[in-house]
């Protein structure tokens, strides 16, 4: 069976009308094509992302799909989805699961982030290519040839597009896909028969909810070069997901001085058994993140941040200051513990910066910072290559196993009335 380029819906700002259309939930997960063959009595399953990257060994709970297919071979198209605790499809949980890199941790990821494969099309069955058949016929074949279980399901068709869209919006789900019943399966976006409409919203503080590719493209069309985000997720309680130390060099300071101070801060954190992650701001500074899993509200998180600010400014008075007035900072690094607050923002990881080098805010390892890096090392021309080489170093901030418990610091702060 040859590779079949996935058909992709085109972004739209409206819902088509007419009996020739059906409507489906737009599942917020990772697109996945499954190739199945039965050879000499054995089932062989291969799972690919839409770009053609094989991920078979990372989704073992889908390997039994051959038991559910009424045929000797098949190609299925669908979405690999990880629901949150409320049953809502979660892209960031799906992404955590997709980015699983270490096989020794796979059992943990399977338990923590169980995948449901939502199938919406069948492209091949029993040595017959089905892409030239109308969608309604392919859907009939799909229902006849694929059984469903707890890990594998067929997405439902709806006749009422506006009603489905309103439901998705109320539930806070990603959106809907409109498909012509007689549409053939065309590669990529070489068609005018599948359209997606997403439930992008503005928050009550006039922040755009950037949770899908189409919104990112829209922001690009608005010339929104830099992306600054808040500190908590919109769908969860109003608590920051991480403590953030914003380290801002003063005029006359070089980046290597900021890097040296950041390393000293990390040494202290290590002694306290606190893990942290660091990124360049893309401009002149650095930002240190300590994942707390929305454990503390903003008042409590600031209390901890303030403690660290005072501690490091007193331990390294020639290096660090918490002085807000720029003219009074001298050539000391400004430890901004106030920036992490509800309604404030910070440069998002991987955001481009509007400077002459087109720098990108890039996560780095502490080892790289010690050896010597510079914000100019990371720009729009090499960011993708670095991601391919290093992976997403900030993905760890999304994983519960890396959440840091800082209750002992709060006890110390309260006991000593700091």
Q: Is residue 212 part of a domain?
A: no
The CATH code of the domain that includes 309 is 3.90.920.10
290 shares its domain with 189: no
H helices of 172-297, in order, are 213-221, 255-271
190 shares its domain with 241: no
What is the model's pLDDT at position 394?
95
Residue for token digits 């080892």?
A: 367
What is the model's pLDDT at position 236?
61
CA nearest 134: which of 176, 178, 180? Answer: 180
135 shares its domain with 23: yes
258 shares its domain with 389: yes
The residue ranking higher by pLDDT, 198 or 205, is: 198
Q: Is residue 4 part of a domain?
A: no
H helices of 127-177, in order, are 135-145, 161-171
Domain count, the chain: 2
What is the model's pLDDT at position 51?
86
Q: Is residue 321 part of a domain?
A: yes
Instruction: Judge residue 159's burial from the number of C-beta atoms within 10 Å of its C-beta, 0-12 exposed, 13-18 middle, 19 or more buried.
Output: exposed
What is the model's pLDDT at position 234?
77
User: Distance between CA atoms of 174 and 202, rounded to whole angstroms?
Assistant: 14
The CATH code of the domain that includes 32 is 3.30.470.30
User: Distance between CA atoms of 191 and 310, rounded to whole angstroms?
Assistant: 60
Beta bridge partners of residue 49, listed in sequence order: 32
User: Distance between CA atoms of 332 and 362, rounded to whole angstroms?
Assistant: 23
Q: What pLDDT digit, counting tens, does each position of 11-43 carry? A: 898 999 999 999 999 999 999 999 999 988 889
Last residue within a domain, chosen from 184, 199, 214: 199
Percent of the chain clearing pLDDT 90 (strictly above): 71
- Rounded average pLDDT over 316-340: 92
Domain that holds residue 280: 229-415
135 shares its domain with 234: no
Give the list of residues 6+ apart from residue 381 with CB closer than 8 angstroms, or none: 358
What is the model's pLDDT at position 357?
87
The pLDDT confidence band at residue 144, using thresholds 50, 70 and 90, is very high
**Six-digit token string for 391:** 């992976």
194 shares its domain with 263: no
Q: What pLDDT digit, counting tens, does each position of 203-229 carry? A: 556 678 887 777 888 888 888 889 999
Single pTM value for the model: 0.63
Residue for token digits 């063959």?
A: 37
User: For residue 157, what are the CA distances in angstroms to 119, 140, 150, 178?
Assistant: 12, 11, 19, 10
Q: Is residue 217 part of a domain?
A: no
- Pairing of the two strands 175-180 and 21-26: antiparallel
Q: What pLDDT digit, counting tens, does each position of 223-282 carry? A: 888 999 999 987 667 899 999 999 999 988 889 999 999 999 999 999 999 999 999 999
What is the model's pLDDT at position 202?
57
| Strand, helix or coil for residue 58 | helix
CA nearest 232: which of 293, 320, 302, 303? Answer: 293
pLDDT at 361 over 90: yes
Average pLDDT over the chain reads: 91
289 shares its domain with 364: yes
CA nearest 16: which of 170, 198, 189, 180? Answer: 180
| Cβ neighbours of 132 (radius 10 Å) | 9
Q: Is residue 233 part of a domain?
A: yes
**Six-digit token string for 336:** 């901004």
């Amino acid at each position: 069976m040859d590779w079949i380029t996935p058909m992709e819906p085109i972004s739209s700002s409206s819902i088509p009308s007419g009996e020739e259309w059906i409507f489906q939930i737009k599942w917020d997960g990772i697109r996945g094509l499954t190739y199945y063959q039965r050879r000499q009595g054995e089932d062989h399953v291969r799972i690919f992302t839409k770009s053609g990257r094989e991920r078979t060994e990372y989704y073992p709970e889908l390997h039994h799909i051959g038991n559910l297919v009424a045929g000797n071979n098949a190609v299925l198209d669908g979405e690999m989805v990880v629901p949150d605790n409320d049953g809502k499809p979660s892209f960031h949980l799906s992404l955590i699961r997709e980015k699983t890199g270490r096989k020794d941790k796979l059992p943990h990821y399977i338990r923590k982030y169980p995948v449901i494969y939502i199938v919406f099309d069948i492209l091949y069955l029993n040595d017959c290519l089905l892409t030239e058949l109308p969608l309604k016929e392919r859907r009939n074949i799909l229902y006849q040839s694929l059984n469903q279980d707890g890990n594998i399901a067929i997405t439902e068709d709806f006749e009422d597009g506006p009603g489905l869209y309103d439901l998705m919006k109320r539930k806070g789900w990603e959106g809907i896909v409109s498909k012509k019943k007689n549409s053939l399966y065309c590669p990529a976006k070489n068609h005018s028969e599948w359209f997606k409409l997403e439930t992008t919203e503005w928050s009550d503080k006039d922040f755009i909810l950037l949770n899908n590719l189409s919104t990112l493209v829209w922001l690009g069309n608005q010339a929104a070069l830099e992306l600054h985000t808040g500190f908590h997720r919109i769908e969860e309680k109003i608590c920051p997901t991480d403590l953030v130390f914003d380290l801002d060099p003063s005029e006359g300071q070089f980046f290597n001085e900021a890097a040296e101070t950041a390393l000293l801060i990390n040494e202290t954190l290590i002694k306290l058994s606190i893990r942290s992650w660091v990124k360049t701001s893309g401009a002149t500074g650095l930002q240190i993140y300590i994942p707390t899993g929305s454990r503390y509200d903003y008042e409590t998180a600031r209390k901890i941040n303030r403690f660290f600010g005072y501690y490091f400014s007193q331990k390294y008075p020639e290096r660090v200051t918490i002085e807000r007035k720029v003219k009074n900072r001298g050539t000391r690094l400004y430890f901004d513990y106030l920036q992490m607050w509800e309604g404030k923002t910070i440069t998002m990881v991987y955001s481009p910066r509007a400077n002459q080098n087109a720098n990108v805010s890039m996560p780095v390892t502490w080892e790289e910072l010690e050896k010597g890096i510079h914000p100019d090392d990371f720009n729009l021309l090499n960011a993708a290559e670095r991601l391919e080489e290093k992976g997403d170093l900030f993905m760890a901030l999304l994983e519960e196993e890396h959440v840091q418990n800082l209750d002992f610091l709060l006890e110390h702060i309260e006991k000593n009335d700091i």
